Structure 1
Amino acid sequence: MAVAPPAQAAPADAAKLVLSGDITLAQAQKVIAAAQAKAVEQGTLMNIAVVDAGGNLKAFARMEGAFLGSIDISIGKARTARFFNMSTKELGDAAQPGQPLYGIEVTNGNLVIFGGGELLRAKDGTIIGAVGVSGSSVENDMAVAKAGVAALN
C-alpha cells in the first residue's frame, strides 16, 4: 500500500511557519544581490552565504569560477558571525595568541576567524541572520560582505 506524501503548506499559510525576528528569503536574496554586485565591481569571484537567525543556510550563490573550497568557508563565516554575534574579523582579533578567545576556532567545528562574516540586523537592531563571503583576499571578502549588509539598511 502506497503512503501519500505529507501535504505542503499552502502559500497563504507559509507566513505562519516563519519565526518573527528571522531573515526572509526576499531579504536574503537582496543581501546576495548586493554582495554579488560588489564582487563584480571589484572583479572578484565569490561564494556568498546567508544564514538565518538560527545559523541555518537561507540563501547561497557561487559565482561562476569561484573557488570550490570557498563554499564551506563562506557558510562557515556566516554561521560563525551568527553563533558569536560579531563579525568574524572581531572574533578573529579576540582569538589571536595572548587574547581571551585564543583557540576558539577548534571548539565548534567549522568556525572561521578571519574577515568576511558579518551580522545582518533588522531596522530595530535585532539580529536576523548573517552573511559570509569567501573567494578572494580577506579585505575583498569583507568589502563584499559589508555591501550585502548595507543592502538591508
Structure 2
Amino acid sequence: MTTATTAVAPLTSHDADTLVTAARRAAEAAGVTVSVTVLDAGGHPLAFRRDDRAVLISGETSHRKAFTALQLNAPTADLVDAVQPGGLFHTLPTALDRPLLFIAGGVPIHRDGRLVGAIGVGGGAPDQDHSFAVTALETLV
C-alpha cells in the first residue's frame, strides 16, 4: 500500500514580508526597536529588516534565533533550560560549526503540520522578542 503525500506550500517572500511587518508593528507598539529575520525551510534568508535605531547586534541575534528554531523545530524560548548545566543540550551551543542561540525570540513556522521556515526577532528583552515573533505568526493564513 502506498501513501500519498500532500504537497505543502513553501513559505513565500510575500509571507516573509508579512511576518516582518507584523513583528515590527508589534515591537513598535511596545516602544521597542528590533531586527527581524525570516528563513525558509532550508535555512535561507527570505526577509530581514533592522529598525534604524535597533542595536546592531540584533541583526545577528535575530538570524541565529531563527536558525536555532528551524534546526530544532522548537521555539527558542522552550530551549533555554535545555542548554543549562545538566540540561539535555548543554554542550550543543559549542558542538556545532553553525552558531545556535538559545535565547527567546526564535519560532518555527509550520504549514499544514510541516516545518516551512522560522522567524527570529532580536533587540528587545527575550520575552518581548518571543511575543513579537508569535504575534507575527498569527498573521499568516
How high is the TM-score relative to the length of structure 2? Answer: 0.89
- Show the counterpart of 1:13: none
* Aligned-residue identity in percent: 32
Give the C-alpha shift of residue 91 in structure 1. Answer: 2.0
- Show the counterpart of 1:150: 138
SS in 2 for 1:152: coil
- Show the counterpart of 1:111: 100
Q: Any gaps of 5 or more consecutive residues in structure 2?
A: 1-6
Give the C-alpha shift of residue 107 in structure 1. Answer: 2.1
**Residue by residue, what CA displacement relative to the aligned partner does 1:109-150 show, whole Å, maximum 9, x if unpaired?**
32100100001111x121110000000111111111111111
Do the aligned residues in 2 keep the contact of 1:119 with 1:149 (CA within 8 Å)?
Answer: no
SS in 2 for 1:151: coil
Please give the residue correspondences for 1:1-153 in structure 2 after superposition, counting only pairs within 5 Å: 21-108=9-96, 109-122=98-111, 124-153=112-141
Give the C-alpha shift of residue 69 in structure 1. Answer: 1.1
Q: Any gaps of 5 or more consecutive residues in structure 1?
A: 1-18
Paired letter, 1:149: L
**Residue by residue, what CA displacement relative to the aligned partner does 1:32-71 show, whole Å, maximum 9, x if unpaired?**
1110110011000000000000111110011110111111
Q: Which protein is bigger by CA-based radius of gyration?
A: 1
How high is the TM-score relative to the length of structure 1? Answer: 0.83
**Residue by residue, what CA displacement relative to the aligned partner does 1:79-102 show, whole Å, maximum 9, x if unpaired?**
110011111112222111111111
Moved over 3 A (4+): none
The CA distance in 1 between the partners of 2:85 and 2:34, in whole Å, is 29
The CA distance in 1 between the partners of 2:80 and 2:17, in whole Å, is 27
Paired residues in the alignment total: 134
Do the aligned residues in 1 keep the contact of 2:8 with 2:114 (CA within 8 Å)?
Answer: no
Paired letter, 1:51: L
